[in-house]
Chain A
Amino acid sequence: MNRDMKDLEAALEGILFAAGEPVHIDRICSSLEIGRSTAEKLLGKLHDYYAFERRGIRLIHMDNAWQLCSAPELAGIIRRTFEIRKPAKLSQPALEVLAIVAYYQPVTRAYVDQVRGVDSAYTVGLLLERNLIEVCGQLKEQPGRPRLYRTTENFLRSFHIGSLEELPPLPGMDDSGQLRLDDGENPDAAAE
């Protein structure tokens, strides 16, 4: 790596540290006066460095926004240091609603109810509160003007996926058109 690249990498690290919150790649490009591909290469390098050297921080990305976070394996130690509790786990209904929104977004609450077969108002509110889903519009022409929901950047971060394309494929959604509920990997889960 030549001198310039090393400087750029350092600058990038500094920006991400100071930002704390996710920084969009366009911002990085314009302030470092580099192209997008260079920026992506640098970010990838930094990401690999943290992971490979097992540093205390990690670089994650949500779509095109990049952010530093503490290494997940250090969670216990960090929590002990600051005497903070582990965030509550999402309940099964919350996971279901979240999955429905994630895969079929944008969706109305009525759709969520229809798929689950039960009222999901409380769970939708809970997910909104946790900033895992957000309102992204309204079906103006439908009675009641139902709101549309989608997943948030926080959802991508919490589930460690770079973009919605990285969601694991739903069973039976392959192109063969076969509606298989159990894809062989985990037949018990579907039968539950």
Chain B
Amino acid sequence: MDGPVYKLEQVVHSKVGMEDFEGPLDLILFLLSKNKIEIQDIPISLILEQYLAYLELRQQMDLEVASEFVSMAAQLMFIKTRMLLSMEDAEAQSEMEQLVKALEERRSSENYAKIKFITARFSEMGEFGRSILLKRPEPLERGRVYKYSHKPEELVAAWRQIEDRGERRTPPPLSNFSEIVRQEPYPVENKARDIMGLLQRGVSSFRLLFQDSRSRSEMVATFLAVLELCKARIIHLTGSASDCTVAATGESLDSLQL
């Protein structure tokens, strides 16, 4: 059992070269995959059982290959046993690590070969994606641009509404108010004329102008007439609030504009 590690490596390397050679490493990988176990904890007994079963199948095979299997399995078990018996056995540890590393590398490189193989297919498949064009989603969030649709009749209905509202806006006829607002009984213009008459007859007291007034509205009309006459500078008032006199300025009544 001197230098069996070299043999292991040789098997690993020869396999990488893709020879049509089913070495022990293939077997280990196969067994590993069958048991679905981690490389890190190879259960020797299980592998041994399956290995023996495998060997039976291979009895007709090339003896040289078969013998290499035996040597290989023995070596594997030897490493494993040493590892189990003495965890401090650095040499056994490193040998095991080497084996694990070799197995992992082997597995990666196999995976890589598979991946490389499949990329040719991928390249073809990817052509589809390079050839299709996609539409953007319709803007479901409506912007400011109006996008609803209407029937023409809706415009007619809208116009009718405007018309209805327009009728209501024109002012109601005066006759509607005849009962509420009657024509003023004492036109300011007449009152102004009366006042000028009074002034010509020598009346000068402001208070006397209201003497003939029979109602509140007549008094209001008289007062308004006084104001209008003052504004037109036809008359002018002098004195205080209690004693007020009225005098004509001499201006003609014609300049009064009501």
Which listed residue, B34, B114, B134, touches A69 by the CB 8 Å rule?
B134
If A168-B121, A177-B30 touch, whether A190 touches B132 (CB-CB below 8 Å) is: no
Separation of A70 and B104 alpha carbons in the complex (Å): 45
If A99-B118, A115-B108, A159-B126 touch, whether A191 touches B18 (CB-CB below 8 Å) is: yes
* Contacting pair A20 B135 (CB below 8 A): yes
Which listed residue, B29, B119, B138, touches A95 by the CB 8 Å rule?
B119
B146 / chain A contacts, CB cutoff of 8 Å: none
Tell me whether A47 is interfacial, beta carbon within 8 Å: no
A117 / chain B contacts, CB cutoff of 8 Å: 108-109, 112
| Number of chain B residues whose Cβ lies closer than 8 Å to a Cβ of chain A | 38
* Contacting pair B108 A158 (CB below 8 A): no
* Contacting pair A98 B122 (CB below 8 A): yes
Tell me whether A189 is interfacial, beta carbon within 8 Å: yes
* Contacting pair A72 B132 (CB below 8 A): yes
* Contacting pair B131 A170 (CB below 8 A): no
| Number of chain A residues whose Cβ lies closer than 8 Å to a Cβ of chain B | 53
A121 / chain B contacts, CB cutoff of 8 Å: none
Which listed residue, B132, B138, B140, touches A70 by the CB 8 Å rule?
B132
How many residue pairs bridge A and B at CB < 8 Å?
131
* Contacting pair B119 A96 (CB below 8 A): yes
* Contacting pair A157 B129 (CB below 8 A): yes
Return the CB mask of A142-168 against B: 1 if under 8 Å, else 0: 000000000000000111110000001
Tell me whether A116 is interfacial, beta carbon within 8 Å: yes
* Contacting pair A171 B133 (CB below 8 A): no
* Contacting pair B125 A173 (CB below 8 A): no
Distance in Å: Cβ of B18 to nearest Cβ of chain A: 7
Tell me whether B116 is interfacial, beta carbon within 8 Å: yes
B123 / chain A contacts, CB cutoff of 8 Å: 89-90, 95
Tell me whether B117 is interfacial, beta carbon within 8 Å: yes
A157 / chain B contacts, CB cutoff of 8 Å: 129, 132
A116 / chain B contacts, CB cutoff of 8 Å: 112, 115
Distance in Å: Cβ of A61 to nearest Cβ of chain B: 13
A71 / chain B contacts, CB cutoff of 8 Å: 132
A12-56 interface (Cβ within 8 A of B): 17-21
* Contacting pair B136 A20 (CB below 8 A): yes
Return the CB mask of B152-181 against A: 1 if under 8 Å, else 0: 000000000000000000000000000000
Which listed residue, B112, B117, B130, touches A171 by the CB 8 Å rule?
B117
B133 / chain A contacts, CB cutoff of 8 Å: 69-70, 75, 78
* Contacting pair B137 A20 (CB below 8 A): yes
Distance in Å: Cβ of A31 to nearest Cβ of chain B: 13
* Contacting pair A72 B128 (CB below 8 A): yes
* Contacting pair B132 A159 (CB below 8 A): no
Tell me whether A124 is interfacial, beta carbon within 8 Å: no
* Contacting pair A19 B110 (CB below 8 A): no
* Contacting pair B117 A158 (CB below 8 A): no
A68 / chain B contacts, CB cutoff of 8 Å: 135
User: Can you list 13 A-B pairs with a CB-CB distance of less than 8 A?
Assistant: A60-B132, A69-B135, A73-B131, A75-B132, A92-B119, A95-B123, A103-B118, A114-B104, A115-B111, A159-B122, A159-B126, A160-B129, A170-B115
A-B interface, 5 closest residue pairs, ranked by CB to CB distance from nearest: A158-B129, A72-B131, A160-B128, A75-B131, A20-B137
| Residues in chain A within 8 A of chain B (CB atoms) | 17-21, 58, 60, 67-73, 75, 78, 86-87, 89-90, 92, 95-96, 98-100, 102-104, 114-117, 157-161, 168, 170-173, 177-179, 181-182, 186, 189-192
| Residues in chain B within 8 A of chain A (CB atoms) | 18, 26, 29-30, 33-34, 104, 108-123, 125-138, 140
